[in-house]
Structure 1
Amino acid sequence: MSVHRDVKKVTTHILQAMKSRGEKIAMLTAYDYSMARILDAAGVDVLLVGDSASNVMAGHETTLPITLDQMIYHASSVVRAVDRALVVVDLPFGTYQGNSKLALESTIRIMKESGAHAVKLEGGGEIDESIKRILKAGVPVMGHLGLTPQSIYKFGTYTVRAKEEEEAAQLIKDAKTLQKLGCFAIVLEKIPAHLTKIVSEELIIPTIGIGGGGHADGQVLVTHDMVGITKDFHPRFLRRYLELFDVMKEATEQYIKDVKSGDFPNENEQY
């Protein structure tokens, strides 16, 4: 019996059951009501209101500029669209690092003002106090290790993380720390496939991969990349299921042509 097909509402408990049964978890990003309705109707398990909204919705080069207020706006829009999926919201840069009191305040605002189901934080042992406070308040936490885009200026590049033995060992240690603290799942971004396998096998909680190979318990992509709305992003891990940029551009060109020629609207398209 498939957990995915039978469940009416995905919870953190359901995700754990899916890992236990070896059933993969499908996660995508969503930032607005209309897109979230489509993804939820399709049966996606988890919707991540990612700080990647900073890139794909606002056009920023990094995830750093997006604010807590903006994340709450996007999360509220998504929550209103969803019947089935678990909605997880990124805590944006500057709302939790180094200050566990601020982390809790930021989380409470997200949960109260958006109605989301969980939050996601980037980092390992260095943010343990923030995670502890949030969990004590009863809010589920998803971890995020490997390439953590909020630390892009520290890394200096978006290249694969944890290729060296020391960083790989630290990632495994951090993953176990996050599990021990009580995180319900961990995103593993752009790490070697063999390391994803090790972490996924050693953890009881689910792992969600992006650019980490097929050994994770689930996968996540940015929806705008997956359906080809973004045009100039071609990482190895991305599979484009549509080329919506081209489809929408062609439709728009046809609309412009029809308006200019007087073909639109015709007699059946008026009152």
Structure 2
Amino acid sequence: MHGLIAPADMAGARAAPGLPAAAPVHEDERGFCLRIGRLALRSLYAELTLYPKPGLVSLRDNGSHDDMSAETFMRSIFALRHYFVRITLAGSRGAPFGVLAALGIEAERRMLAATGGVNTHRGAIFGLGLLCAAIGNCRAQGEALSAQAIRAAMVARWGAALAAHARTPNTGSHGRRVAARHGVGGARHEAARGLPAVFEVALPALRRALAAGRGQRRARVDTLFALMAHIGDTNVYHRGGAAGAATVSRHARAFLASGGTGAAGWEERAERCHRLFVARRLSPGGAADLLAAACLVDAVTAGDA
């Protein structure tokens, strides 16, 4: 993902709603925001290129989707190259949630323009955007960049606003309607609680697999299956209802119980799961977004070393 972000991507950052128009962006601040923006893009790219990845778009195939491909995702990632830089800066300046939301809405508009109206990264715009803002806020407060500090900054700075946001009706969102119908939390409730699926499920799973010597690819596959086993994915409920969600959870748990990517024949088992999900049109897109979020936190914190 080299070359996707240039210093020009800071243009317009100071003009974001609610940020001081004349506040200068110092060179070290610029460099930090650009680095976090690059890491966010790389995390999305890492998720896209991962395989096997049940039901999801990859470089191999389109998974359970007729309306999107890897090319669609690449156009979307490119369209978001400014967003993660700017929301990191907004977080470092202590911007209120309304500013973050405005940046996210603009990023979503750019995504939809780039993809012809296809929602490739709405969840990532929300989740990774909040993480970038929290990372920026941590740095501005002089906090060491640890997973605990990033989560604490997000909750302390924007937790109350996120909780209020989660209670606001949004009838135009598939995720909100599905969450209400099936009693699952959805992205807004997840964020208001400090992204527990990222910090309590995905990140520990990723680091356990890496510590076991499984390498990035296998560690990410294990992490994706851990997420599929533990979360109520509104994307899955939207496509397959409660029965589809039970199918995803059951097969993910079986894969992990067999030893995950540490067991012989893991690729074939994961590919069988992929074929099953495609046949049933199941797509755990929420888990994919959370995997990318965990990749970002791990890269930023360097394992909290």
Rg bigger for which structure?
1
Q: What TM-score results when the alignment is normalised by the length of structure 1?
A: 0.34
Structure of higher RCO (CA pairs closer than 8 Å, 6+ residues apart): 2
Choose between structure 1 and 2: higher strand proportion.
1
Q: What TM-score results when the alignment is normalised by the length of structure 2?
A: 0.31
Choose between structure 1 and 2: higher helix proportion.
2
